[in-house]
Amino acid sequence: MASDAAQAYARACVAQGEAEVERLRAEVRASAERVTQLSAQLRAASRAIHAARTRLGALEALLATEQARFEQEFEQLATFPKVRGVEMDGALIRVLTDTIYLDHLGRRYRIGEFALELDLDRGIRTINLSNTGQKSGWDHPHVQAGLPCLGNLRDGFEKLLGEYQVVPLVSMLIQFLETFNPDTAYGPIDLWEKVAT
């Protein structure tokens, strides 16, 4: 029969071993749970890849047919009334206008030539390149620092830009620049050069 000291020693060693067994069991359970999680993530990633490939194929097919339409629209834009040029710089379409005039109460005002900057990432700016106004920060009675005050029409303008409907957007912007509303203008129309009608 073992002495009390030998038994105490054996119990201490077995206790250490049992603690290691429990630690390893917990590690196995955690690893098994991690494998289950990774499997679920792998399935989700596989579904995402499949969906992305489907969208990619559809977009590639669309772009193949849209290329000709975009080229045709560019030609239409380049010959559009009151447009004297079109420039491209990455995602920025810069449409240069002829001189913009405003007619108000029987008088005609020369506002200036504009660069309509249609940035597919950042939005719309209308910059007066030959401003005849008395305040340099006012590009137009309804435009300050290149930012047009489009009011409740802004969403429609931005939607056209987002859908690459550049020709109707340019048409609407030119109409906007040829319009004066004294109730919403930043200042009076008399701040711009008056010309003979």
CA-to-CA distance for 181 and 44, rounded, in angstroms?
55
8 Å CB contact between 166 and 72: no
Give per-residue pLDDT as tens, 104-142.
999 999 999 999 999 988 889 999 999 888 877 889 999
- Percentage of the chain beyond pLDDT 90 is 40
pLDDT for 178 equals: 95
pTM to 2 decimals? 0.69
What is the C-alpha to C-alpha distance for residues 65 and 67, in angstroms, rounded to an integer?
Answer: 6
**Residue position matching structure tokens 């005050």:** 149
Q: Is the pLDDT of residue 31 over 80?
A: yes
Domain boundaries, the chain: 1-67, 80-195
Residue 135 CB partners (closer than 8 Å, separation 6+): 187, 191
- Identify the pLDDT of residue 24: 83
